[in-house]
């Protein structure tokens, strides 16, 4: 499977450096290594979800408990979480660090991913969610750290879009 193990390790390492202790996730191809690395990490609790919106509640609970958390999901999972984001994270000012695999854009071969690719950034903008499109390996650590810093200081959801260039080795 040509999902980048090297870059998955880099992201996982960065999450550790950010003191992320709880990660909720719903599997998708690009995230398989990242989810496995989280699962094998004794310092992290992995919560495998039935649906991504649950992660908003779980991260809110973690935040109340003083534990830093992250959400791993595909962009379609972000679409499925929007009510939770608006009527919990935004309404109650809950910081969320959302790592979202950005499917359905340039280079996408799966037809079923393409509509979600079209609407991901417009929806993030409409929701007022700060986001960064992560496609350069050199900036991974810095941008994820910055995203977490902003989420914690602004008490709001912040998204990092994980692109094909980063997650996939052709």
Interacting residues with other proteins (CB under 8 A): 21-22, 45, 47-51, 53-67, 69, 83-84, 87-88, 91-94
For residue 163, the SS3 value is coil
Backbone φ and ψ for 47, nearest 5 degrees, come out as -110, 115
Q: Least CB distance from residue 100 to other proteins, whole Å?
A: 19
Question: In this structure, what token pair is assigned to residue 27?
Answer: 């599997």
Choice between 22 and 162, CB closer to other proteins: 22
Let me know if 93 is exposed, middle or buried by CB neighbors in 10 A (0-12, 13-18, 19+).
exposed
User: b or e along 16-54 (b: 16 or more beta carbons within 10 Å of the residue's beta carbon)?
Assistant: eebebbbbbbbbbebbebbbebbeebeebbbbebeebbb
Choice between 25 and 158, CB closer to other proteins: 25
Q: Least CB distance from residue 44 to other proteins, whole Å?
A: 11
Choice between 31 and 94, CB closer to other proteins: 94
Q: Least CB distance from residue 60 to other proteins, whole Å?
A: 5
Q: How far apart are CA 53 and CA 81, in angstroms?
A: 4
Identify the CA nearest to 157 among candidates 74, 80, 92, 104. Answer: 92
Q: Least CB distance from residue 139 to other proteins, whole Å?
A: 30
Choice between 15 and 56, CB closer to other proteins: 56
Q: Least CB distance from residue 13 to other proteins, whole Å?
A: 22
* Structure letter (DSSP) for residue 31: G
Choice between 107 and 128, CB closer to other proteins: 128
């Amino acid at each position: 499977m040509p999902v980048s193990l090297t870059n998955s390790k880099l992201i996982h390492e960065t999450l550790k450096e950010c003191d992320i202790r709880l990660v909720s996730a719903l599997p998708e191809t690009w995230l398989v290594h990242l989810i496995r690395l989280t699962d094998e990490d004794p310092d992290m609790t992995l919560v495998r979800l039935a649906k991504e919106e649950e992660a908003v509640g779980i991260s809110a609970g973690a935040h109340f408990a003083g534990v830093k958390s992250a959400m791993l999901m595909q962009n379609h999972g972000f679409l499925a979480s929007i009510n939770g984001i608006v009527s919990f994270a935004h309404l109650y000012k809950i910081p969320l660090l959302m790592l979202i695999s950005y499917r359905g854009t340039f280079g996408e071969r799966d037809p079923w991913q393409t509509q979600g690719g079209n609407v991901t950034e417009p929806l993030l903008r409409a929701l007022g969610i700060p986001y960064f499109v992560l496609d350069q390996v050199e900036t991974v650590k810095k941008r994820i750290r910055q995203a977490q810093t902003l989420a914690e200081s602004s008490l709001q959801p912040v998204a990092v879009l994980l692109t094909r260039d980063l997650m996939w080795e052709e």
